[in-house]
Amino acid sequence: MGAHYLSIENVDKHFERDGVSSQVLSQVNLGVERGEYISIIGHSGCGKSTVLNIVAGLIGASNGAVVLDGKEVHSPGPDRSLVFQNHSLLPWLTVYENVALAVNKVFKRSKSKAERHEWTLHNLEMVSMGHALHKRPSEISGGMKQRVGIARALAMQPKVLLLDEPFGALDALTRAHLQDEVMRIQGELRNTVMMITHDVDEAVLLSDRIVMMTNGPAATIGEILTIDLPRPRNRIALADDPLYNQYRHAVLSFLYEKQRKVEDLGARRVASPVKEQARA
């Protein structure tokens, strides 16, 4: 296990609530290579956000460990930058200032003031936001906010980029546009990416491997599907690609046949605290 760039080793997680302990994750094991794009897919409440938050260090694992580049993860840090679903830009700062806040903090010592300015601009240009540097988040669209969120995360030069349903709150057209953008940037930078999603097309289009999680309680990794499609990928060309559709089919059948969401009260009771805690 130790040979992977990022490895999640025997991670368990249970939350205590009103004296009742609920097991959320059980024996999650995953190795991620450098430069790999991994998607984690599963039904809502299955604990995929919890996995991401444990990797980010925002919550601790009950058992097991996360090792990144030979070091165990204990707390959050800029080497694992996050892009949140709701962008979480600071509304009182401009687009430029939001990214600059991260750049100035992370590269305080290693870069000069001029270099940090250049680096901030460079990252905003990369997500095509160079035209709106001095706008505030309230003045730009949802897709643009998410671009700035991505720029901020990339600007930290993370060892692994964590995306928590980054396109979930966007309309379909904006989402497709942004997915293409992320693919292009990923092609240039070869970042290691871990993305949470519940969109099957998105997972197949973007990923090198798709990690499919079983339903909670005590969710774990059900199957891992390697997506062997050549890059760069084109969504239009792939629409008729038999291999692409085969992958899609595999993920769909895992989600809707093997792991059909049982909507009974019992499952909900276990699932809801997970969700709340994971977001908290």
Alpha carbon 178 to its chain's center: 14
Tokens 């599963």: give the residue: 42
The least distance separating other proteins from the CB of residue 170, rounded to whole angstroms, comes to 16
Task: Give the residue with the Cβ less far from other proteins, 86 or 246.
Answer: 86
Torsional sign, CA 98, 58, 108, 121:
negative
Say if residue 64 is exposed, middle or buried (CB neighbours under 10 Å; 0-12, 13-18, 19+).
middle
Under rule CB under 8 A, residue 211 binds other proteins: no
Under rule CB under 8 A, residue 105 binds other proteins: yes
The least distance separating other proteins from the CB of residue 279, rounded to whole angstroms, comes to 7
The least distance separating other proteins from the CB of residue 97, rounded to whole angstroms, comes to 10
For residues 280 and 85, what is the distance between their CA atoms, to the nearest angstrom? Answer: 14
Name the one range near other proteins by CB under 8 A: 35-43, 81-89, 115-123, 208-216: 81-89
Task: Give the residue with the Cβ less far from other proteins, 164 or 202.
Answer: 164
Under rule CB under 8 A, residue 222 binds other proteins: no
Under rule CB under 8 A, residue 110 binds other proteins: no
Task: Give the residue with the Cβ less far from other proteins, 169 or 176.
Answer: 169
Among 26, 30, 68, 84, binds other proteins (CB under 8 A): 84
Q: Give the residue from 210, 208, 209, 197 showing the smallest Cα distance to 46.
A: 197
Residue 186 Cα distances to 82, 154, 176, 243, angstroms: 15, 10, 15, 22
Segment 32 to 61, residues that bind other proteins, using CB under 8 A: 56-58
